[in-house]
Amino acid sequence: MMRAKTIRRLIVIIVLVLLLILILTPLWWAIVLSFDRAATTALPPFSWLPHTPTTFNYKAAQRLINLPRYYLNTLIVTTVNTVVSVFFAMMCGYAFAKGRFPGKKVLYIFMLAVMMVPFESRLVPLYILYRDMGLLNTWWPLILGQFAYVYGVFFARQNIATIPNSIIESVYLDGGGVWRVFFTMVLPLSKPVIATLSILQFIAHWNSYLWPLVAIRDSSKQMISVGVALFNAQQDSIYFGPRMAVAVLSAIPLTIVFLFLQKYIVESIAVSGIKQ
Amino acid sequence: MSTKDRRIRNLKKQLRWYPFLIISLAALVLFVYIPMFNTARYSLYDISIVGAGNETFIGLKNYRTLLGQSRFLRALGNTFALTLMGLVTIPLGFFLAVLINSLGRGRTQAFCRIGFYLPNIITGISVILMFQAVLQGEGGLLNTFLSFLFRRKISIGWISDIRYSKIGATILWCWMNMGYSMLMNLASLQAIPSELYEASEIDGASAWDKVRYITAPLMKNCFTFLLVTGVINGLSRFTDLFVLGSNSSAGLPGGTLQSILMYIYQFSFEVPSHGISSAGSMILFALVFFFTMINVKLTGFLEDEEEVG
């Protein structure tokens, strides 16, 4: 009985490991190609290790695309967006969880209803709006929309509602107001939800593609996702090595962040149900 | 203290909450509600570029044009087909989750959870670049693998042959989304109390009985959630198909990979015809709205508003 169980467990592990190898092989192969001189101007047959090891593809990529610039741009915009969206979501969440004021319910529904309006169906009017404000080809179109992070408001409200009112009363008794409650009580006590929302927002903004593509024309101001895709489209399609080198370089930071924070990321996604 | 004083004090107490909301509310009005209203408005006009003059009200003519145009209907059909095919991530994720769950909590399980979720996290543009090599007809990884499996040379153009392009795009989609499906399934499986299984074992239930009478009914919510969100994500699919086609909204090869959103993009920015693209946006909006309503109902997003009231 015990042995049958051990054997079954072993079989499951073997199946899972084989599947994992199958799924992760494309990643490995991309890394191999990026270090393979044979891949520079052709697609060599599959191999577990480079045919002719080299760092030439990386040097070629370095000349063809200004990755550090894209990284810097994306890091700045992504960080600003994450901080802005999560902070304002916390503010709204606090008001909706603990506030008493007329119109609360209506305003809450007014906010959450936005979830039913996909961003993609507003592309043209938003483009026109920013064009008329003269803000196209700047980072403002990427940032301004982040002042209302509706999913965040929902999760923030849910979490802040669980903070006992007695703690908040104690601040009032000390003569503090709602702002002091927010900064000295609500924010420190909401670290887990702030972390969750920040992780989700950071990944989402890092990967966003369509809106930067529409709003930004100058490649010096562009985000890494669009920059890499444009580079990919401009190269001769047989330059597999340099293209894979760029793919690997642009995937590295998020993968490292993931490996460090994997426990929290996996938890965040499982809890919220939000993919990225 | 007079009642008037008290009323004023009360009002002041209520007014201090609005500053918390005002900026987000303003952003919503300016960047969501007004633009959405404008999309609806543009869709009723014959406009090539908004603001360039020559705007004639034409009622629902843009919609009639779209629904009678084979290119738009093809984009619609492509999107539905790709969305349906993409739903295969749900059973795949469930299968993986059952295997991973059977390992019991511990290091091995944690390792598998990270490993299978890893592809999800690098769902940047880099993955699409990698898959251009994987799905290549000549020398691509998938064909190499299939040739090895079937012991004969297979060279299918997964992203260049119109007969296979949707399958190729679905393979990419599965690779990018399966980890998410696995994670949601696993979280849901682990929420099932183990007492239920133990009790059924005492009653002499077989493994199949357990799946049939305990797992499946308790997983229903998870499946529905994944189904609805899968449909919503599928309907607004854009990035991977756009980049696969070398940053073109034409939906290469032969338009078989043009989604609704790519069609909208094409007539918004490449060949501006804002009236038409706005009508297309409204159709996309209606579809997403419908499925989001279902989702809101299922997940109870608005349900606990009683305590807010």
pLDDT at A241 over 60: yes
Do A123 and B117 count as a contact with CB atoms less than 8 A apart? no
pLDDT at A237: 74
| Residue B309 CA: distances (Å) to CA of A54, A100, B31, B143 | 65, 9, 26, 59
Single-letter amino acid, residue A158: Q
The residue-averaged pLDDT of A60-73 equals 92
Chain B environment of A34 (Cβ under 8 Å): none
The per-residue pLDDT of chain A, averaged, comes to 90
| Residue B84 CA: distances (Å) to CA of A103, A203, A207, B280 | 41, 26, 24, 20
Tokens 């593609």 found at:
A209
State how beta strands B56-57 and B45-46 pair: antiparallel
Residue B271 carries which DSSP code? S
pLDDT at B238: 95
The residue-averaged pLDDT of B203-210 equals 83
- The 3-state DSSP class for residue B45 equals strand
- List of residues 6+ apart from A111 with CB closer than 8 A: A92, A148, A150, A153, B24, B25, B28
The residue-averaged pLDDT of B105-115 equals 87
Q: Over the stretch B265-299, which tens digit does the pLDDT of each residue have?
A: 999 999 999 999 999 999 999 999 998 888 777 76
The residue-averaged pLDDT of B130-157 equals 90
Cα(B227)–Cα(B90) distance, rounded to whole angstroms?
A: 7
Q: Over the stretch A144-190, which tens digit does the pLDDT of each residue have?
A: 999 999 989 988 998 999 999 988 888 888 888 899 999 999 999 99
Residue B56 bridge partners (DSSP): B46
| Residue A40 CA: distances (Å) to CA of A60, A252, B131 | 9, 21, 17
Domains and CATH numbers, chain A: 12-54 (no CATH), 65-222+254-272 (1.10.3720.10)
Reported ipTM: the value is 0.89
pLDDT at B258: 96
CA distance A166 to chain B (A): 18
Residue A36 bridge partners (DSSP): A53
Residue B109 carries which DSSP code? H
Chain A environment of B42 (Cβ under 8 Å): 124-125
Single-letter amino acid, residue B239: T
Q: A156 with A193: CB under 8 angstroms? A: yes
Do B116 and A20 count as a contact with CB atoms less than 8 A apart? yes
The residue-averaged pLDDT of A204-213 equals 92
CB atoms within 10 A of CB B258: 27
Q: B58 with B45: CB under 8 angstroms? A: yes
Chain A environment of B100 (Cβ under 8 Å): 16
Cα(B259)–Cα(B74) distance, rounded to whole angstroms?
A: 9
pLDDT at B301: 61
pLDDT at B303: 57
pLDDT at B197: 84
pLDDT at B1 over 70: no
Do B144 and A46 count as a contact with CB atoms less than 8 A apart? yes
- In order, the DSSP letters of chain A are -HHHHHHHHHHHHHHHHHHHHHHHHHHHHHHHHHTBGGGSSS-PPP-SS-SSB-SHHHHHHHHH--HHHHHHHHHHHHHHHHHHHHHHHHHHHHHHHH---TTHHHHHHHHHGGGGS-GGGGHHHHHHHHHHTT-TTSSHHHHHGGG--HHHHHHHHHHHTTS-HHHHHHHHHTT--HHHHIIIIIHHHTHHHHHHHHHHHHHHHHH--HHHHHH---GGG--HHHHHHHHHHHS-TT-HHHHHHHHHHHHHHHHHHHHHHHHHHHHHHHHH----
Cα(A227)–Cα(B217) distance, rounded to whole angstroms?
A: 46
pLDDT at A276: 44
Name the token pair of A145.
Answer: 């929309």
Q: Is B77 exposed, middle or buried (0-12, 13-18, 19+ CB in 10 A)?
A: middle
pLDDT at A210 over 60: yes
Single-letter amino acid, residue B120: N
Do B308 and A104 count as a contact with CB atoms less than 8 A apart? yes
pLDDT at B107 over 90: no
- How big is chain A, counted in residues? 276
pLDDT at A143: 96
Number of CB pairs < 8 Å for A and B?
297
pLDDT at B240: 93
Cis link prior to B253 (omega < 30° from 0)?
yes
Cα(B100)–Cα(B231) distance, rounded to whole angstroms?
A: 26
Chain A environment of B24 (Cβ under 8 Å): 88-89, 91-92, 111, 147-149, 153
pLDDT at B307: 43
Do A148 and B39 count as a contact with CB atoms less than 8 A apart? no
Single-letter amino acid, residue A231: F
Instruction: Please state which of the ranges A85-99, A156-170, B35-49, B203-217 shows the lowest mean pLDDT.
Output: B203-217
Instruction: Please state which of the ranges A56-65, A257-266, B114-123 shows the lowest mean pLDDT.
Output: A257-266
pLDDT at B308: 38
Domains and CATH numbers, chain B: 72-123+159-299 (1.10.3720.10)
Cα(B92)–Cα(B90) distance, rounded to whole angstroms?
A: 5
CA distance A224 to chain B (A): 9
Cα(B259)–Cα(B270) distance, rounded to whole angstroms?
A: 15
The residue-averaged pLDDT of A31-35 equals 94
pLDDT at B11 over 70: yes
Cα(B243)–Cα(A209) distance, rounded to whole angstroms?
A: 10
Name the token pair of B86.
Answer: 């993409």
